[in-house]
Amino acid sequence: MDRPVKGADGRWWTLRSELEWRTPATADDFEHDAAGGYVPAASMIGVITVFVVVLVAWRPADVIVPGWVVLTIALIALFFPLRWVLRRPWKVVAETEGDPENEKPSERWVGTVRGMIKVRTEMSRAKQSIERVSLPNFEGPLRPVE
């Protein structure tokens, strides 16, 4: 989502956010960087699928399954994919071309925010800060990039 914002000094800023498909590597996460991946997750999905198919196939014909049991199983199966979608990191970028007439330099600020709802909040805070003081807030996740 791109959002044009006019700063207090007259420069036009562009605020945008992009979904990060891979979690950016940081110094805090270094020891976890070597392990993991999609292979363990795919194998667990396969094991659970086989378990559910065997459970349904071996069910006697006269057994009636209540609707709340099916709903509970569906909610449990959807919990982790939904959590993954809602907690993905987003890259937030605020940049301006500058104003050569008034000798205002071009700037680019970049930060990472985790979660869909927090992205909207941070975009609103950056917009308000740019409108007020012509720069994104230093206390937020955005940092200047050279």
pLDDT digits 0-9 by tens, 2-40: 899 998 888 899 999 998 877 666 555 555 545 556 777
pLDDT per residue as tens digits for the range 60-90: 888 888 889 889 988 988 898 888 888 888 9
Domain count, the chain: 2
Structural domain boundaries, residue 123: 2-21+88-144
Query: What's the angle, vertex CA 131, arms to CA 125 and CA 135, rounded to 5?
Result: 75
Rounded CA gap, 14 and 107, in Å?
A: 11
Give the global pTM.
Answer: 0.68
Indicate whether 74 and 47 sit together in one domain. yes
Give the chain's mean pLDDT: 84
Task: Examine the fold and report which residue of 46, 67, 86 is the final residue of a domain before the chain moves on.
Answer: 86
Indicate whether 62 and 98 sit together in one domain. no
